[in-house]
Amino acid sequence: MPQLGIDPITLEVIQNGLAAIVDEMALTVMRTAYSGVVKDALDYSTALCDRHGEVIAQGLTIVLHLGSFPSAVRHILEAYGSRVRPGDVYILNDPYGSGGIHLPDIYIIKPIFVSGALEAFACALAHHTDVGGLVPGSNSTAATEIFQEGLRIPTLKLFDQDVANEAIFAILEKNVRVPGKVLGDLRAEIAAVRTGEREFMRLAARHTPATLRRYTDHLLDVSERLAREAIHAIPDGAYEFETHIDGDSIETGPVNIRVAVHVAGDSLTVDFTGTSPQVKAGINSPLPFSESAVYGGLRLLMDPTIPNCGGYFRPIDVRAPAGTVVHPLFPAACGARGITGFRIMEAVLGALAQAVPERVPADGEGGNTIISFGGYDVQGAPFVYVDLIAGARGGSPRGDGREGVPHPASNIANTPIEIAERELPVRIERYGLIPDSGGPGKYRGALGQIREVRCLAQEAVLQIRSDKRRFPPYGLWGGRNGSPSWNILNPGPGQHVLPTLTMGKIRQGEVLRHVMAGGGGWGDPLERDPGRVRRDVVEEKVTVAHAREAYGVVIDPDTREVDAPATAELRERLRRDGRTA
């Protein structure tokens, strides 16, 4: 039943109006950005927050960013209070004291005033190609403290009542390797928040500020109520899970992400007690980022029609002990914290798979691998190549894992080959799917990918953020693990296997091969429809030998037809021997 004074049609119009604004902001960034990591890989986000900093609309962008906007806005309100004025634009990136989530992610936030009153904030966040630090791209996994990661920007006014603070622009220009791309992307963010301000003011003029405020408050309450209903449908209990980051180049070794999800009625607590302490490496996840990962994981289990605003955060209590990799303390490095955010989401889903197995897929590739080359081209100009590779989801209760789609935490694409080769001294020599790499199951995990990149510059700094080698993607309910990842320098005789977290050199003519992990399988592989296995063989996703070994399906190598009697006999023998495959 509609709340007194709330018209359902007006609510729908305002909700969709807000959604259109944030998506227009997102399109503004994409169409005006300079760097490949923003305009091609789409590593950015947009949102609208209300006067208190609660998210009232989220763009179709990156889940791991969106839950952090309230923290950033709260720091603006705490730092400036009554000095927040029309025409101001704020900039920040510092995780320690400003609400940032790592230094390459620069926030641009514009307060929106209507008839002299603060009504909202237009927010944009973009991952910048470089902000200084140890390595080009500023994603060093080897950094041991944040001072090695680049330029820290506290909560500052980039524009004070429409007057630009040119000193900030000048400092940025002198402290990054590719200032043209960084300042270009920054101005794309500024254009986006100005677009958000303009369109929000139009919406307020159409409905009056008082009406818009009443309806956005109600929208948050509706989102909360529907989220509580979704949580109430999960059986009460405590569900525990532990996942890992390989940490093969970290002195203390593998990193453990341990979670206990306590469901009680229409609320839940996500407790990370027992998670590894913060490490001397760039993978520590600041608390706003960790919270975003929790919210994102739970959102995947909710009705997609629930209003996409901060009301659904309210029933969720995140408890992350200070001094751990999910809540690091100053001066912990966090440039490559994305890998930890992915593991947080996986841990939450792994825990809830015990409560609602019909809704949770098996593990996937582990999120984006980031490969960076940086140095100087033959003309002496600096370059930074940042590639984000993803796309091997786990099998689910509804079907096979999808190839070539991003991790649900981050709607990021890889860099198109033609653009990378046109703009940078690299050549992509191989890119494809790897047969037999998906975890066997009733529903198969997606195939892993292979990408080979040749360095054409004289020399470059190489940085890799990858994972899932020692701890490959897990299967669920009898499904088997996906294949592990690999990083190989100069594949072939004399090749050198690199750690999952790597910083080093790559020289002219050398080739880096990255093999991404395959998705885990869901369900008993011996229950997979033989017709599906045959189709996989025909499509060259599965070999004839793997079909027999993993699925108990006998396929004629010449005709590619299933030998039904032989398959039934083989599967019966495997079951009799106690094997799921």
Give the DSSP letter of residue 327. Answer: B
Nearest to 192 by CA among 268, 79, 107: 107
Helix (H) or strand (E) holding 570: helix 564-576
Tokens of 73: 């806005």
Count CB atoms within 10 A of the CB of residue 514.
21
C-alpha to C-alpha distance for 39 and 29, rounded to whole angstroms: 7
Long-range interactions of 24-27: CB distance < 8 A, separation 24+: 24/195, 24/196, 24/199, 25/59, 25/122, 25/124, 25/192, 25/193, 25/195, 25/196, 26/59, 26/60, 26/61, 26/192
Backbone angles phi, psi at 183, to 5 degrees: -70, -30
| 3-class secondary-structure state, position 90 | strand
pTM: 0.94
Give residue-wise pLDDT tens across range 413-438.
888 899 999 999 999 999 999 999 99
User: Between β-strands 117-127 and 44-50, what pairing exists: parallel, antiparallel or unpaired?
Assistant: antiparallel
User: Between β-strands 316-319 and 511-515, what pairing exists: parallel, antiparallel or unpaired?
Assistant: unpaired
Helix (H) or strand (E) holding 289: helix 287-299
Question: Cα 535 to the chain's mean position, in Å?
Answer: 32
Parts of the chain with a pLDDT under 50:
1-2, 581
| 3-class secondary-structure state, position 374 | strand
Nearest to 434 by CA among 498, 389, 372, 464: 389
User: Between β-strands 267-271 and 316-319, what pairing exists: parallel, antiparallel or unpaired?
Assistant: parallel
Instruction: Output the pLDDT for position 581.
Output: 46
Interior angle at CA 127, CA 445 and CA 329, nearest 5: 90
| Ranges of H-type helices in 176-286 | 179-207, 209-232
CA distances from 4 to 7, 65, 218 (A): 8, 35, 11
| 3-class secondary-structure state, position 272 | coil
Helix (H) or strand (E) holding 11: helix 8-32
User: Between β-strands 369-376 and 316-319, what pairing exists: parallel, antiparallel or unpaired?
Assistant: unpaired
Instruction: Output the pLDDT for position 62.
Output: 86
Scanning the structure block, which residue is given the tokens 């620069």? 106
Query: In this structure, what is the dihedral angle of CA atoms 39, 105, 244, 395, given to the nearest 10 degrees?
Result: -30
Count CB atoms within 10 A of the CB of residue 530.
19
Instruction: Output the pLDDT for position 413.
Output: 81
| 3-class secondary-structure state, position 499 | coil
